[in-house]
Amino acid sequence: MNAHPTGRAYGLTVIKPSLDVGGYFQHSGNMEQNRAAQAFATLGHPDRLAAFRLLMRFAPRGVRPTEIAAALGLKANTLSHHLADLTGSGLVKVTRAGRSLFYSVDLDAAEALIGYLALDVGRARPDLLAPLLAHRKDAAMRDTDFDVLFICSGNSARSIFAEVLLRDLGRGKFQAFSAGYRPGTTLNPFALEVLRRNGHDIAGLRSKHVSEFQTPDSIVMDFVFTVCDAAAAEECPPWQGQPITGHWGLPDPVKATGTEAEKALVFVQTYAALRRRIAAFVALPFDALSRMSLQTRVDDIGTEAHAAEKA
């Protein structure tokens, strides 16, 4: 069984376990320094770094090698060598679900490596950490209102569903937005019909490019969610304020085939899946959770919903 950092198990068989990360990058001893050096050397190759960054955007969920190769434009055999190096360094783990392999970041190892760089290597110059810490939100999220952005590729259905659902289910506690990396000029008519039938106000909804939320005077988001795998794989500059991020990927209903009724049913199912995720999100006890705990709960919502829908 492959254990999630929170202690839950998801029924996946570990193919090649990561190196033991208990004290993996501690601050004393040559062996620990050598392991840290190995990890940094592994990330020193542009393609391995790109693969690690992509896996971080999907964390804690795993990604199939074919999806990684497609997103990064790498040949399968080349990617295989890079993934072997990443797993060998302890930064990435691989699990099997059925006949598929999934690669994911070992979050404990990643945290330890970042801690080694910041707290050991960087302790001689604490001033270097000040600009990073200054932009962080309060460790306990005590705000009564939160700004949330949902991103997908086209911003015509999934992210629009999420925006409207959070706006209406959040009862004024959340300010919801949505955007896409390649938005169309109009919203999908099936998506609009599903929203109408469920009593949502669709006035004013439109497709927006993600760049609208990346200007210097943009609203600083508290949460940023990707609701499709294509959006999670996109390169994106760091968000202002270091928002909590989540990947709640769902298949694109726009690609559904069949009769008009069959296509409409796929949009209804996508709406229902997002409604379950967002209902769980708005029910979180925000005033009682630390930033780290909130990130874990956001990850769990996506992982548990994904597992339930695949069952």
Q: Which residue matches tokens 């930033």? A: 291
- The three-state DSSP-derived secondary structure of 206-250 is CCCEHHHHCCCCCCCCCEEEECCHHHHHCCCCCCCCCCEEEECCC
Q: Look up residue 20 and give its DSSP letter.
A: P
Instruction: Name the 3-class secondary structure at 31.
Output: helix
Look up the CATH architecture of domain 146-310: 3-Layer(aba) Sandwich (3.40)
Comparing 21-30, 125-134, 252-261, the range with the smallest average pLDDT is: 21-30
Task: Quote the CA–CA distance of 176 and 164 in Å, as a whole number.
Answer: 7
137, two tokens: 């939100």
Q: With helix as H, strand as E and coil as C, how does 94-134 read?
A: EEEECCEEEEEECHHHHHHHHHHHHHHHHHHCHHHCHHHHH
Q: Identify whether the C-beta of residue 162 lies closer than 8 Å to the C-beta of residue 274.
A: yes
Predicted confidence (pLDDT) at residue 204 exceeds the cutoff of 80: yes
pLDDT, mean of residues 50-59: 86
Residue 203 tokens, joined: 């006035």
Distances from the Cα of 297 to the Cα of 200, 288, 304, angstroms: 27, 12, 10
Task: Identify the band that residue 307 occupies on the pLDDT scale cut at 50, 70 and 90.
Answer: low
Q: How far apart are CA 148 and CA 152, in angstroms?
A: 14
- Answer whether residue 21 shows pLDDT above 80: no
Phi-psi region of 258 (alpha: psi -120 to 50; beta: other; left: phi over 0): left
The pTM of this model reads 0.63
117 vs 212, more confident: 212
| pLDDT for 17 | 35
Distance of CA 112 to the CA centre of its chain: 20
Residue 286 has pLDDT above 50, yes or no: yes
SS3 of residue 179 by DSSP:
strand
Please give the CATH topology (third level) of the domain spanning 13-134: Arc Repressor Mutant, subunit A (1.10.10)
pLDDT tens digits along 98-148: 888 899 988 888 878 877 777 666 666 666 666 555 444 444 444 448 999
- Residues with Cβ within 8 Å of 188's Cβ and at least 6 positions away in sequence, in order, are 156, 157, 160, 253, 254, 267
For the chain, which residues make up each domain, given as ranges?
Answer: 13-134, 146-310
Contacts of 271 (CB under 8 A, 6+ apart): 161, 165, 191, 194, 195, 198
More confident residue, 233 or 181: 181
Contact 235, 170 (CB under 8 A): no
